[in-house]
Structure 1
């Protein structure tokens, strides 16, 4: 099985977004770049690796790392092999989740849906070319990476992403396709632009989107979009199961009405 561990689909580096803005603070941007260096790694990072990943000199990286370490946002790993994010990063995750009104409203809806479907239920929020999981309610079979809040997936090849794109114009869909790094995450990942457009049209017609083994081999996922009052798609609710237990037709028949009902309950606010 192959998991998506990258966290930066379509996210510009902090150093590229100031564009001469007089209120933009480069020192804060550098600190964010250092923290972002850990997105792609599966191990502690040395100071040289942090400098390379964050695109700054070793001396500048050393000062930023020292400051963040003093504040508790970076620490040495238990075996002293390098640096890892510090525990205080979790404080900000908690703040985001408890102060996001959509996440707060969705919580009881997701728990009721999980009781009904007995499969994994996720809430994702759109961020550029990716969806970021803000809530994950587990099923009887899970892996570590499938449990992580903050995990992200690209829009172009996911059930939630296509549910989102179904509520965008054709021009906006084309822009997402053109800007996406359309690589094969699994052998079943759809990367051809016209095939992606066809899946989006299918989602518009059905009111939900389906993806088979495009992010994780053996997984089937169905999703419905979460909408702002003006119809702007904000994210999606997903139900994920195993193809060892379900075929696509039975899965849709069983879960499409439930995921649509859950999304509809939130979209009425």
Structure 2
């Protein structure tokens, strides 16, 4: 058996960085030492070095430590080096194989959804969506899933410029109903499209996030209402939400 080259000091530094990255409000020396079951003075020495190298920074008022500029720069470089659409396609294919319905990947561009990938199931029906096709944000699963998690400023800017069109009897056609829907989506972590854009097509969608917590896009499962009915729509919502979380972690999101 080959001898391990694992360095205990390096492992401790990595555990420190992981714990701090998980804490939104930052974390103090004592709490960090308790979590990692390390001597407080040992932890402080690591923290001091990481702060000096700008991988961490200490808040002036609380004295808690949080991620520094060097970590953000490093994470940004890694994300930029990855063709993220190719990187996550296996997740889309796996989701399609599990649920046997069509899976979409979309982003928001200029206030509209753009489908940038689509994995069709063997029993697919003819749908509006295709790669490169644009669609409204207010009545599509992917659109609503992304819109709900944008910053308030970006969200408001998109909503105030929506020119509502009633595609079906279920289409949302005013800001008030859309804002109510957004609150529900944020609470449950997924969006539903109950024949809002296409008659006879239901959809469940969830957002995906980047390493810095910004919503990047969304994925959806879509199928005919004869198969994707009210009962199994929520089952599919759980599946798409789980896959979206796996993709987000792959992209570095905590």
Bin for the TM-score computed over the shorter chain: 0.5 to 0.7
Q: Which of 85, 93, 102 matches 1:103?
A: 85
Counterpart Cα distance in 1 of 2:105 and 2:148: 17
The residue aligned with 1:158 is 140
Counterpart Cα distance in 1 of 2:190 and 2:224: 18
How much does 1:187 deviate?
A: 2.7
How much does 1:246 deviate?
A: 3.2
> Relative to structure 1, is the Cα distance of residues 100 and 135 closer, same or farther in structure 2, using a 3 angstrom cutoff?
farther
Q: RCO higher in 1 or 2 (8 Å CA, sep ≥ 6)?
A: 1
- SS class of match (1:124): strand
The residue aligned with 1:142 is 125
For residues 48-75 of structure 1, give each alpha carbon's deviation from its aligned partner in whole angstroms, at most 9, with x where no partner exists.
xxxxxxxxxxxxxxxxxxxxxxxxxxxx
Contact conserved, 2:107 with 2:146, CA < 8 A, in 1?
A: no
Answer with 1 or 2: which has the greater Rg.
Answer: 2
> Relative to structure 1, is the Cα distance of residues 173 and 154 closer, same or farther in structure 2, using a 3 angstrom cutoff?
same
> Relative to structure 1, is the Cα distance of residues 190 and 100 closer, same or farther in structure 2, using a 3 angstrom cutoff?
farther
Note the 1:18-57 alignment, pairs <5 A.
none
The residue aligned with 1:6 is none
Contact conserved, 2:115 with 2:133, CA < 8 A, in 1?
A: yes
The residue aligned with 1:8 is none
1:120 and 2:102 matched:
yes
How much does 1:170 deviate?
A: 3.7
How much does 1:145 deviate?
A: 4.2
> Relative to structure 1, is the Cα distance of residues 144 and 119 closer, same or farther in structure 2, using a 3 angstrom cutoff?
closer
Q: Which of 202, 206, 218 matches 2:200?
A: 218
1:131 and 2:113 matched:
yes
How large is the Cα RMSD of the aligned pairs? 1.8
Counterpart Cα distance in 1 of 2:87 and 2:241: 16
Counterpart Cα distance in 1 of 2:147 and 2:225: 25
Name structure 2 gaps, 5 residues minimum. 1-80
For residues 176-218 of structure 1, give each alpha carbon's deviation from its aligned partner in whole angstroms, at most 9, with x where no partner exists.
1111111112232111111001111111011100011111101
TM-score by length of 1: 0.59
The residue aligned with 1:256 is 237
Contact conserved, 1:167 with 1:231, CA < 8 A, in 2?
A: no
Number of positions where the alignment pairs a residue of Structure 1 with one of Structure 2: 169
Q: Which of 226, 232, 235 matches 1:244?
A: 226
- SS class of match (1:179): coil
Counterpart Cα distance in 2 of 1:151 and 1:240: 15
TM-score by length of 2: 0.62
How much does 1:144 deviate?
A: 6.4
Counterpart Cα distance in 1 of 2:178 and 2:127: 29
